[in-house]
A and B are shown apart, each in its own frame.
Chain A
């Protein structure tokens, strides 16, 4: 099993990794909100946002290449919407779409890259995100790898029997793979539910972890929100 995971660098012991996940989540949320609410033509503000988020990325000790490569994932989507707008709207709108989506994605990479996913979910929970939602996400995180493995197996079995034929037949095989994956997943869901019942599950899961705020959390929150407020203020002034 060597599926890439989103929290690959969560084991690093950087100042950002050590922060209380709740503080990180709230700061990043504030950042995304500020970026999205900034008027499109405030180029200086966007430049400062970039500086701010990269100061955090630098502190997080994540390899820059990893962060940049990962942030490209948003480009196709943003570019498509952006280009479409380019026909009807001024250039600043195009820039606005690209800049805002890229900055938001960078911020989320900081959050998800420096926090291991289970901890992130617990942080969301303690911030009041409904338990049902976090449970669904935790199942997704747990089983996405199992699913990827299963797809790989089905695909290997298909390749082993199809001698490089192309075209419609391939498409049909892909449909069958999807169907069989769906059935597999559905049945696994039932078995998992049985396993949960067998261990006393009765409708709501409980959790243990408690977080504690430290001075470093306060320092980071102060730095980040002050910088954010300053940038935001000069942008709307």
Chain B
């Protein structure tokens, strides 16, 4: 568990009274207060439509939320957007949305190119990023010929190539087969970045999280270590969630394995 208590450095992410209302008047986030320490993994759980994705997309300013939102001490403002986008890498849920270039190389190079790196550095960062997700040598492959699991990994590489400080992922394990899911989780476990991950997969949440946050009806209703949040069955059910099955059903809980 990362030392988020009494940390002398600025929090990686700090939200104070963050709210978001869609143009049609629907409130998606209400007064969210949250602080994430550098290197910490925060997993966000909650039913569909609770506001998880809205919160994630606010972190790099894709949704312009009200309230104070800081990434590593830098406020999310129009002026700071280029800096924020470099600091916060977002891996979207559907890799077909994220991989919009014809080849894997072009896609992973897209971010670094926008950052203005030179050709040599770009080749290096693409190579490194693909290596990190276990897809070394995939540069010239065509995105639409990849399997779903591979697309997901390339999406991650395309974000890692920008060397972000914060990694934001929207339901990373959705639609993955068990093997691809294990592979992804083990990669995630090894990445040093601060991570904010939304998921419906309680097991993944339990394994990955330093802390778990529950978003329910646009509000942050609970936050704490997984052993506290994800073992409280009555409250989980109240929020439309469930116990992680790796804990066993009912009241026999195993201790957490990592």
Contacts and interface: CB of A to CB of B under 8 A. Distances in A.
Interface of A: 1, 117-118, 121, 138-139, 141-143, 145-146, 188, 191-192, 194-202, 205-208, 210
Contact of B102 (A1, A138, A197, A205): A138
A206 B115 CA distance: 10
Nearest to A150: B96
B52 to A, nearest CB: 16
A117 B101 CA distance: 11
A211 to B, nearest CB: 13
Contact of A201 (B99, B114, B158): B114
Given A142-B143, A199-B114, A192 B97 contact: yes
25 contacts: A1-B145, A118-B102, A118-B103, A121-B102, A138-B101, A142-B143, A142-B144, A143-B100, A146-B96, A194-B57, A194-B97, A195-B90, A196-B100, A197-B62, A198-B62, A199-B111, A200-B85, A201-B110, A205-B110, A205-B113, A205-B114, A206-B114, A207-B106, A208-B109, A210-B119
A188 B100 CA distance: 11
Q: Which of B82, B89, B110, B145 counts the most chain A CB atoms within 10 A?
A: B110
Given A142-B102, A194-B62, A200 B114 contact: yes
Contacts of B85: 197-200
B28 interface: no
Nearest to A206: B113
Contact of A141 (B102, B114, B159): B102
Contacts of A145: 144
Given A199-B89, A199-B111, A205-B113, 9 more contacts: A118-B103, A138-B101, A191-B92, A195-B97, A196-B100, A199-B85, A199-B162, A205-B110, A207-B106
B94 interface: yes
A145 B143 CA distance: 10
Contacts of B122: 208
Interface of B: 57, 60, 62, 82, 85-86, 89-90, 92, 94, 96-103, 106, 109-111, 113-115, 119, 122-123, 143-145, 158-159, 162
A210 B143 CA distance: 21
Nearest to A201: B114
A211 B110 CA distance: 19
Q: Say whether chain A's binding surface is mostly helix, strand, loop, or mixed.
A: helix
A199 B156 CA distance: 12
A145 B106 CA distance: 18
Contacts of A121: 102
Contact of B159 (A118, A194, A199): A199
Contacts of B82: 200, 202
A200 B115 contact: yes
A206 B90 CA distance: 20
Contact of A117 (B60, B102, B110): B102
A126 to B, nearest CB: 14
Contacts of A197: 62, 85
Contact of B113 (A117, A188, A208): A208
A134 to B, nearest CB: 11
Contact of B144 (A1, A195, A198, A208): A1
A145 B144 CA distance: 7
A192 B62 CA distance: 12
B106 A198 contact: no
A200 B111 contact: yes
Contacts of B86: 200
A209 to B, nearest CB: 9
